Amino acid sequence: MNAAEQGNQTPLPDIFAPLSLEEFASSMMKQARVSDLRMHQALLRVDRKIFVPEQFQAYAYVDSTLPLIRDVGDHFATISQPSLTVQMIDLLNLQEDSNALEIGTGSGFSSALMSQLCANVVTIERIPELVTKARERINALQITNVSVIEADGAKGFAQNGPYDRIISTVAMKKIPDEYVFQLKEGGSLLLPVGDLWYGQYLVLGKKQAGRLETIQASSVQFVPIITDQEELGWSFQESYESLISLSQGDLDEDALKEYAQRLNMSPESFGKLLRTVTGFHDASESIR
């Protein structure tokens, strides 16, 4: 290839290229195919960098899942792909007077975005460390309409119900009956339902005449709920072994490539991310 030909080449996009907050917000709206200007304003007010751990700050505006905590006691958690977060919140169709319940606070990013679109958000998190950090981040933004509750999310939170909207950022085997009981007539819920690794679907439901009518929205992959209710979720050991196996390098090359695809990243970029910011060197060698 000569110099003239090189000069005419269109440069490949670099997902690690730094973006401004405005560029990030616009990009997420486009990726999620969302046109609600309220969401764009929410993305500008709720900076994702505040919700991403310090070692991952360079990747805060990348459209990818990132680790929150890894192998801290009995816990593993992530901050979801931002375009998917935006898409899910948009599907909820939050109104200014909506009372919303979120299962799986995580970083607090999703509940903070929701707070800009509705009257009240109750968000449930079982991991104490995440509860503390989410409260700190939300308070730092002077958000006053979000309550972060430490509890088993599989049970919902009847004290502040009934709710107009219920959303979950963790996967479950089925929709808990408690969610239907705590949902207002005419209210909607959205949560990932399926097994630990394969066959999860976003299920969108609406309560009509006391019953929940549901449709499958799309195929997804979410961190599993940790709960003592075996009919709804998984034991810590089951979920932990599946999630942490990635960091131990015991997944084959095809599995690693598939995981990279789930995170909306090329295998090369995924390997770079793992090596650069997580230290998962062994696992990433096979996908460089």
Given this model, what pLDDT does residue 146 score?
A: 99
Given this model, what pLDDT does residue 283 score?
A: 33
Given this model, what pLDDT does residue 5 score?
A: 39
Per-residue pLDDT of the chain (288 residues; tens, 9 = 90+): 444 434 444 343 444 556 899 999 999 999 999 999 999 999 999 999 999 988 888 889 999 888 886 544 455 678 889 999 999 999 999 999 999 999 999 999 999 999 999 999 999 999 899 999 999 999 999 999 999 999 999 999 999 999 999 999 988 989 999 999 999 999 999 999 987 656 688 999 999 999 999 998 788 878 777 777 766 766 655 655 555 444 444 444 555 555 555 555 565 555 555 444 443 333 333 332
CATH number of 27-244: 3.40.50.150
Q: pTM, whole model, 2 decimals?
A: 0.78
Provide the phi-psi class of 106: left if phi over 0, else alpha when psi is between -120 and 50, else beta: left
Given this model, what pLDDT does residue 223 score?
A: 75
Given this model, what pLDDT does residue 195 score?
A: 75
Q: Which residues are catalytic?
A: 80
Judge whether 98 and 119 are in contact, CB under 8 Å.
yes
Given this model, what pLDDT does residue 234 score?
A: 60
In angstroms, what is the C-alpha Rg of the chain? 19
Judge whether 200 and 221 are in contact, CB under 8 Å.
yes
Fill in the amino acid letter for 135.
R
Which among 57, 7, 34 is positioned nearest to 276, based on CA atoms? 57
Tokens representing 113 are 């975005």
Q: Work out the number of other CB atoms within 10 angstroms of the CB of residue 232.
A: 20
Given this model, what pLDDT does residue 275 score?
A: 47
Which residues have a Cβ under 8 Å from the Cβ of 285 and sit 6 or more positions away?
249, 271
Given this model, what pLDDT does residue 235 score?
A: 60
Gap between the Cα atoms of 65 and 51, Å rounded = 12
Given this model, what pLDDT does residue 72 score?
A: 42
